[in-house]
Structure 1
Amino acid sequence: MGLLDGLMGNATKADINEVEKELEVIIAENEKIELAFKLVRDLIVFTNTRLILIDKQGMTGKKVEYLSVPYKSISRFSIETAGHFDLDAELKIWISSAIEPTISKQFRKDKSIYDVQKALASYVAKP
């Protein structure tokens, strides 16, 4: 169901070895990729030091934005689950003392948003 989930906009766990190869040019020397989720073409990556959001843009996906957020900079986050008529779930992340969420990611009506939220909670709560 991985391909079908990806096409439907559902987040699926990504293969760590593939993500490591894709991100080897931006990963620091002592940094380790620990968990990753694929959302259509985009990625949400948890390393031992930061959250990396990868946004592949354009038809070919050649243009890529890498947004790095140190866990200590995340002040709060929320999830909004999908309802009967609203089929999208949403993850919102606030950085430092921002009033509005700095990051907002849409998910389809599935349970994967809970997995992403659990991972985010465990990484942000690390000392």
Structure 2
Amino acid sequence: MAGELRLLEPAVRSSGTEARKLFDPEFTEVGSSGRRWTYEEMLAELPGFDDAQPDGPRIEASAMRGALLAPGLVHLTYETVFEGRRARRSSLWRQDENGAWRMYYHQGTPVPEG
């Protein structure tokens, strides 16, 4: 959960060095836009996102829950609000050979208004 929350911080999102520490080299994402992202694409684009700007809007996270699926594999679910848009989010985190937790997969699903 700590890694997931760090990835929502503008200072981490704007820093390729910090974000690289938290993404698994085999990372993929299906964003709330429906776009598929690879590790390289995410690291290249993340610093330019609105939510990566120090004075920009913040991502608000709530109701985060984690479930241990297997040794070294955790599934997180939570909801976010960003600029009035809600999304349900799901991430898989796996432990690397050095014991560090890295995000392996992430998916965001928009919540319809109303």
TM-score (ref. length: structure 1) = 0.34
**Which has more radius of gyration?**
1
TM-score (ref. length: structure 2) = 0.37
Higher relative contact order (CA 8 A, sep 6+): 2
More strand by share: 2
